[in-house]
Amino acid sequence: MSQPVVHVPRFGTFVLLLGAVAVALMGVTDAAARAEPPRVGVFQVDASPNIGSPLAYDPCVGVTDPLSLSGVVIIGSGDPIVLAAVDWIGLSNDSHRELRERLAKAAGTTPERVTVHALHQHDAPRVDFSAAAILDHYGIAQNAFDVPWARDVFARTAEAVREATAQAQPFNRVGVGVAEVNEVASNRRLMDAEGKVIATRYTACRDPKLRAMPTGTIDPMVRSLSFWQDDQPRVVLTYYATHPQSYYRTGLANPDFPGYARDARQRLTGVPHVHFNGAGGNIGAGKWNDGSKEYRQILADRVADGMRRAYEATEFRAVSADDIEWDSVAVQLPPAAHLQEAALIAQLSGPDAKAAEALGAATKLAWLKRSQAGETVDIGCLTIGDASVLHMPGELFVEYQLAAAALRPDRQVMMAAYGEYGPGYIGTATAYGQGGYETSDRASKVAPEVEGVLVGAMTKLLQSDVELGPLGVVHDGLKSESLAGD
């Protein structure tokens, strides 16, 4: 049977030819762009609160040392990539979205190629425009958020990103370094022989019995990713997983020990440093820190020493634009069953609504409404040379970071967590049945099924064919130790 003949008008032929030419030109343009050396721009702004503005738990009465919002713009492989870190406890919901959109516009890219993470210091602000709007809607006076100040920081950061994009410098090598940080990280969740949490060893722990218990499951390594033009370093990114508090509730804004370590290395080397907190949701310094004020500097020195050794152990690889990739996966995180809209609204609208309780209800309702609307969270992955950097949401348990390394043992896998802060703590599926603060209704807004969602995203982004068993359970590559013994 003969095929029907389709007659294309001459005008249609002309349009098709134009389309073919346009596609060809786009290919030439893209190839020409990738033939240019990649470039990196660095930005930093002061993100310190105003006196009287709220910190996470208290009004700000002073700034001991400035908080910063810093990062890099990577140019040369598709649209620009923006990586940013801020010395705040967290950045949630509409505020996280808005900052990413502003930085994307400033860099000439899309929000999917922008990632923003908090370091999670506690004498630092929390920023959640969605929760603030809910409190305003119910007429509840609150002192948790300073929205105009935050938007001023956003505007200044966007301008800094615009300048960093315009002034980006070429690089032709990347360096990766790894070193162990001694006597800083320890697991917060202390287990009995049956695998149930018997105590939480918070980041400052005054109980000598809890401090004497084993370190537990951690990732002790600090990792550095540096950008170089020949022998000239442009910027150093560092990654280490732990809660960052030495002590807090002082009313004095400060970057705490990871921030002090970062700043010390920046001063000593003269090279810009940007630090990211890894999957430190169930990790803190409690075994090594009794909350005494001198431990802030002690811990900072230990982290800085690890950063130094990682930098000195740097292994280099020549790179071009073809060696740089960015990919992202949009995922829906399953909301926790305890998030009940009617109950949360009752907490906000009742005659006895209190500001302290209303704040928790507002943050939960903001996350629930996002979930009900089917909104997604972007999981990003930067691949550069032999390194992959995953960009993750929430107060993620360290088992996810260990799992990422197990998925690609042939690569140096790094992780930045504390991105979208809306979900709060994100435990493993097993952890939700073990008890403890981190997976309680108070702390976590996601369901145990979140593990499958995130591991699936990591597996896809890392292009791994490794099949992992349940996280937090003894299996090859991931050993969770019992903390009730030695």
Q: Which of 228, 231, 169, 223 is nearest to 36 (CA)?
A: 169
Q: Give the span between the Cα atoms of 474 and 371, in whole angstroms.
A: 32
Q: Give the span between the Cα atoms of 209 and 168, in whole angstroms.
A: 52
Strands (E), 220-287: 221-229, 232-240, 252-253, 273-277, 283-284
Q: By the 8 A CB rule, do 347 and 402 touch? A: no
Residues 284-341 have pLDDT tens digits of: 999 999 999 999 999 999 999 999 999 999 999 999 999 999 999 999 999 999 999 9
Q: Give the span between the Cα atoms of 76 and 41, in whole angstroms.
A: 12
Q: What pLDDT is attached to residue 351?
A: 72
Single-letter residue type at 477: G
Q: By the 8 A CB rule, do 319 and 385 touch? A: yes
Q: What pLDDT is attached to residue 8?
A: 36
Q: Give the span between the Cα atoms of 91 and 96, in whole angstroms.
A: 5
Q: pLDDT-based confidence at 11, cuts 50/70/90?
A: very low
Q: What pLDDT is attached to residue 443?
A: 98
**Run of H or E residues at 329:** strand 324-331
Q: Give the span between the Cα atoms of 466 and 365, in whole angstroms.
A: 37
Q: What pLDDT is attached to residue 481?
A: 38
Q: Which of 453, 458, 432 is nearest to 444 (CA)?
A: 432
Alpha carbon 243 to chain centroid, angstroms: 13
Residues paired with residue 200 on neighbouring β-strands, in sequence order: 189
**Run of H or E residues at 456:** helix 450-461
CA angle 256, 213, 219 (to 5 degrees): 55
Q: pLDDT-based confidence at 17, cuts 50/70/90?
A: very low
Assigned token pair, 137: 């809607």
Percent of the chain residues topping a pLDDT of 70: 90
Q: Is the pLDDT of residue 480 over 80?
A: no
Q: Is the pLDDT of residue 107 over 80?
A: yes
3-class secondary-structure state, position 93: helix
Phi and psi at residue 239, to the nearest 5°: -140, 125
> Percent helix, strand and coil across the chain, each rounded to 5?
35, 25, 40
Q: What is the mean pLDDT of residues 387-405?
A: 98
Q: Quick one: CA torsion of 94, 95, 100, 105, rounded to 10 degrees?
A: 90
Assigned token pair, 317: 């690889």
Least confident of 18-27, 32-41, 248-257: 18-27
Question: Based on the number of CB atoms within 10 Å of its own CB, is 214 exposed (0-12), middle (13-18) or buried (19 or more)?
Answer: middle
Q: Give the span between the Cα atoms of 127 and 88, in whole angstroms.
A: 8
Q: Is the pLDDT of residue 160 over 60?
A: yes
Q: What pLDDT is attached to residue 473?
A: 62
Q: What is the mean pLDDT of residues 344-357?
A: 82
Q: CA-CA distances (angstroms) from residue 357 to 105, 149, 411, 439? A: 37, 24, 45, 19
Give domain limits for the chain: 39-461
Q: Is the pLDDT of residue 486 over 60?
A: no
Quick one: CA dihedral 92, 440, 447, 359, positive or negative?
Answer: negative
Assigned token pair, 371: 């979930």
Q: Give the span between the Cα atoms of 41 and 54, in whole angstroms.
A: 32
Q: Which of 416, 404, 381 is nearest to 119 (CA)?
A: 416
Assigned token pair, 452: 């499958």
Q: pLDDT-based confidence at 9, cuts 50/70/90?
A: very low
Q: Which residue has the tokens 């260990």?
A: 402
3-class secondary-structure state, position 216: coil
Q: Which residue has the tokens 């600090």?
A: 222
Q: Which of 75, 83, 140 is nearest to 419 (CA)?
A: 83
pTM comes to 0.91
Least confident of 75-84, 138-147, 161-170: 138-147
Quick one: CA dihedral 461, 465, 467, 468, positive or negative?
Answer: negative
Q: What is the mean pLDDT of residues 224-239?
A: 98
Mean pLDDT taken over the chain: 91
Residues 401-453 have pLDDT tens digits of: 999 999 999 999 999 999 999 999 999 999 999 999 999 999 999 999 999 99
Q: What is the mean pLDDT of residues 236-241?
A: 98
Q: By the 8 A CB rule, do 425 and 281 touch? A: yes
